[in-house]
A and B are shown apart, each in its own frame.
Chain A
């Protein structure tokens, strides 16, 4: 074979092998490592999978934050004014976490419909609401008005 053509062949093989590898890595990386956002109404309607990582977003219900006296375990309710879902988290809550404010909790939904959160993110400043929360709340509005 012509040396230049041979070189091209090796190059093509190399690219094919490498891109297969890369695509494989990406697929593997994406599996189980991306999580879908659910507002409380969809979780209450049974649309969210249990045992898989998801994110839950809404407002922390006023007066719903319950702390365990012995540990850092904390329970709170998240609402989109249509349905309410309870989340449980052990650890330090972010500085901006507070009742009546927007929150996003990532974790796994258990059989009782309680979110076992591994991460809690609060809204970033006084005028900002996590966009997903804003959208979920506005959808709840739309559904409530039947539009």
Chain B
């Protein structure tokens, strides 16, 4: 009964979403107050029913209802309850329901928190969001019904969840990622509503900003968790592969980063308006494109879901409708929202413009590299693959180009600034960063290393310029009077510097050795000695494993005992590498078992030493934390009280 109930709730949710996408929108053009006022209740109702549907699905998983095809295919009675719950979204159909649940949660949140918005704008925003929900609900119901039963012929037990996904990282990674993906739909809906109304002012930007920042923060956390999960779960110590599915989440992040900064200019100075609208459309389009790439099977990847051409056609059609429609609207209506004020070149505006150009170009080059195999295949030029070297060669110089300007950003002034002031303010951090950067490779690595030097100079420059600006601010004004958005900006930019240091140091100084070892062997890697003590069989709840036991010593002192495993999952017969990691703030020690040699008497073993690898994720957490922090800014709460403030109301201090 429960699955049927869930299916029914899904259908009701679709009905409410349909009403939401039509009634308030029509009302907004006819000036029908009653129709417009229906929007928030419809939004909340739609959320309630999708939540019921999700709960029913999760219940089917937790209660081992193997008569539901999805449960039978992706769960197993031997799995712990937490994993059964997570298995709800460890598959295409279930993850779609989670996706719609989050989309509806965002819609409901807009409905609840935006009561002060002009009703016309609010009803249009909610209608656009309702339309997006209709698309995904139809997709779920028509091409990937999660509640399908297998009756009769219910299997005794399920086929098990892919062992790669049986992991705590997997429980939270997709939800965060989806929160980010669908979060950009709010910025998109605001943009479309502005184009419809032909009115785009500072209060519009002030309304979109917190939503965009929140979505961006979730997406950052989601990407960071995915990278961390790949690092410890895929068994070979990589943390970023430029895999099509990773790129699918990274492109909206890059476009979203541009959008956040462009929104700042639109709010403070009323500039770049049509550009901001275009970026909002762009960021959400890339979210949809990512969904298409992951779920249609046009590109192959370790993360991709099993493909079904019908699904691909549906998403592509929806993508065409949403993106094509909004870009057409943009082409006709953009002149109505265009800004007519010029700006000075030496000013914060131009620095943020530079940020936008860099991030846009970065997005496009990643997009190009991701789709290149598809394009050459479509043009019948052969089956190419584009590897990480391409992305590194293109992406890293762009980021390096960005950082010098990032250091100037916070110190710079809106409207008009002078080069001489910048020089005065920033000559000290620049010199300090140069000294630290030049010395660091010698002190840490014992020899000159160009890339490490460059990275430390750039990151040091960014961090010191940021901290100097903070110091100056604290000297001139009271701690409490500094707005939350400033603290958020500080945290996010410092986080970026931390990530840069982590990425470059781990790529330059990591030591990775693959060796053949027998129990009793001792190997030396990066000053640590690894003793292979023993091999023993391990019995897990739903797997059996070969376990190894290693002692790691440094200068004769024990550092860690590590126990990597090679697991064989019983239900699916899949083999999995379980790496053992000793984590630290300045280095990780990573051991993974490769394959048995000589009939199991010896093993191929990976011994890795990874300095500063945690900094990559620590920086990403700081960026996400910063973006969340901006939500606490008093300005946004005040905006709720006087949502219709005219342009220029936002010209107060940053």
Q: Report A's interface with B, CB cutoff 8 A.
A: 3-4, 7, 10, 14-15, 18-19, 22, 25-26, 28-30, 32-37, 55, 67, 69-72, 90-93, 95-96, 106, 124-126, 130-132, 135
Contacts and interface: CB of A to CB of B under 8 A. Distances in A.
Q: Is the interface of A mostly helix, strand, loop or mixed?
A: mixed
Contacts of A25: 365, 393-394, 397-398
B342 A29 contact: no
A26 B365 contact: yes
A34 B368 contact: no
A30 B386 contact: yes
B586 interface: no
Interface stretch (B315-323, B455-463, B523-531, B569-577): B569-577
Nearest to A36: B382
Given A92-B606, A124-B302, A71 B516 contact: yes
Contact of A34 (B236, B384, B595, B606): B384
B385 A55 contact: yes
Interface in B593-611: 594-595, 597-598, 604, 606
A29 B390 contact: yes
A4 B365 contact: no
B345 A29 contact: no
A37 B385 contact: yes
Given A55-B385, A71-B516, A93-B595, A30 B577 contact: no
B544 to A, nearest CB: 15
Contacts of A69: 598
Contact of B515 (A32, A35, A72): A72
B389 interface: yes
29 contacts: A7-B343, A7-B345, A10-B345, A19-B361, A22-B361, A25-B365, A25-B394, A25-B397, A29-B369, A29-B390, A29-B391, A30-B372, A30-B390, A32-B389, A33-B387, A33-B389, A33-B390, A34-B372, A34-B385, A34-B386, A34-B390, A36-B382, A67-B597, A91-B604, A92-B594, A92-B606, A95-B235, A95-B577, A96-B575
A35 B376 CA distance: 12
Given A29-B390, A30-B390, A91-B514, A36 B594 contact: no
A72 B604 contact: yes
B532 to A, nearest CB: 15
B364 interface: yes
Contacts of B450: none
B357 interface: yes
B285 to A, nearest CB: 20
Given A30-B390, A71-B516, A124-B302, A36 B342 contact: no
Contact of B604 (A22, A34, A55, A92): A92
B384 A35 contact: yes
Contact of B595 (A18, A19, A92, A124): A92
Nearest to A10: B345
A26 B604 contact: no
Contacts of B369: 29
B634 interface: no
The 5 closest A-B pairs by CB, nearest first: A92-B594, A29-B393, A37-B383, A33-B389, A29-B390
Interface string B330-350: 000000000000110100000
B399 to A, nearest CB: 12
B508 interface: no
A72 B514 contact: yes
Nearest to A132: B383
B525 to A, nearest CB: 15
Nearest to B594: A92
Contacts of A72: 514-516, 594, 604
A145 to B, nearest CB: 22
Contacts of A70: 516
Contact of A29 (B343, B389, B595, B597): B389
B549 interface: no
A14 B162 CA distance: 50
A135 B198 CA distance: 51
Contact of B386 (A33, A67, A90): A33
Contacts of B345: 7, 10
Contact of A125 (B357, B392, B574): B574
Contacts of B365: 22, 25-26, 29
Contacts of B162: 125
B551 interface: no
A68 B11 CA distance: 61
Contacts of B114: none
Nearest to A130: B300
A6 to B, nearest CB: 9
Contacts of A33: 386-387, 389-390, 393
A95 B576 contact: yes
Contacts of B385: 34-35, 37, 55, 106
Contacts of B516: 70-72
A33 B345 CA distance: 38
B577 A18 contact: no
Interface in B542-592: 573-577
Given A4-B342, A35-B387, A95-B575, A28 B514 contact: no
Contacts of B300: 130-131
Interface in B348-366: 357, 361, 364-365
